[in-house]
Amino acid sequence: MNNKRTWIEKLSDFISGKGFYLVVLICVAAIALSGYYLVQGMRGSLDSALDQPVTGSAAIRETPSASPTPRPSAKPAGPSAAPSSQVTPPPAISAPPASAAPAPLVFTWPVKGTVDAGFVVETLVYNETMGDWRTHSGLDITADLGAKVLAAANGTVSAVYQDDLMGTVVEIDHGDGLVSLYANLAEAPTVSAGDAVTTGAVIGSVGQTAAAESGQPTHLHFAMYQDDAPVDPAGYLPEN
């Protein structure tokens, strides 16, 4: 029988005896040494990081103060009114007042007298002064020289002028295209263009300025026009 023991068997016996404690002690020391170096390494990294300067801008933001919430108005305690089922009609829209219609025109004879020559536009009549045949677009009303001539109706004097054949002329605009004409007046009428006149207002006097009718008795030549077309004045004047 071989009494020589191998080194493996000797090592096994050592470990099984006192060597076991020695191995445990060595392992604990190795672990402790490893932990020491680990802690020293972490502390060095932390110290290095703390030694770095702090960069970047710091801003201090002030928290805005909350605006006070308005206090709701207190309502008197009590039972709330039940909603009405009746529908309130919308307020009536009043129509704008209608503009007052102009008052109807009231006509009067411009002078007191008789008609010496009537309104003739469809046929020709002989004119003694001019010695020819022509139409006559108005009324020749005989009157004394200087007799007052009146506005036949309300209106505005639209023109005062001298005509080569009909002498001194005054025209009155009555609105709606209706115009009255007064010719063979004295040279100085009592109205001017733009004057407002009423029915019966004095606008001048009978004269002898109409060269085309100077051979006739003293008279007023009175004519009317609707939209520039001659119309018979007798249809507007009251019965004389």
Dihedral sign from CA coordinates of 200, 205, 208, 209: negative
Average pLDDT over residues 134-144: 89
**What residues form DSSP beta bridges with 175?**
178
Instruction: Assign 167 to helix, strand or coil.
Output: strand
| Spatial separation of the C-alpha atoms in residues 75 and 23, rounded to whole Å | 91
The model's pLDDT over 41-80, given as tens digits with 9 standing for 90+, comes to: 666 554 554 455 444 444 444 444 444 444 444 444 444 4
Dihedral sign from CA coordinates of 125, 207, 192, 105: negative
**What residues form DSSP beta bridges with 136?**
120
The model's pLDDT over 177-203, given as tens digits with 9 standing for 90+, comes to: 999 999 999 999 999 999 999 999 999
Phi, psi of 235 (to 5 degrees): -75, -15
Amino acid at 16: S
- Give Cα 80 to chain centroid, integer Å: 45
Q: Where are the alpha helices (DSSP H) in the chain?
A: 7-16, 19-51
Q: Which of 25-39, 137-151, 173-187, 191-205 has the lowest mean pLDDT?
A: 25-39
Strand duo 167-175 + 115-117: pairing: unpaired
- Token output for 16: 């099984």
Say which residue, 104 or 91, is predicted with more confidence: 104
Q: In this predicted structure, what is the pLDDT of residue 213? A: 86
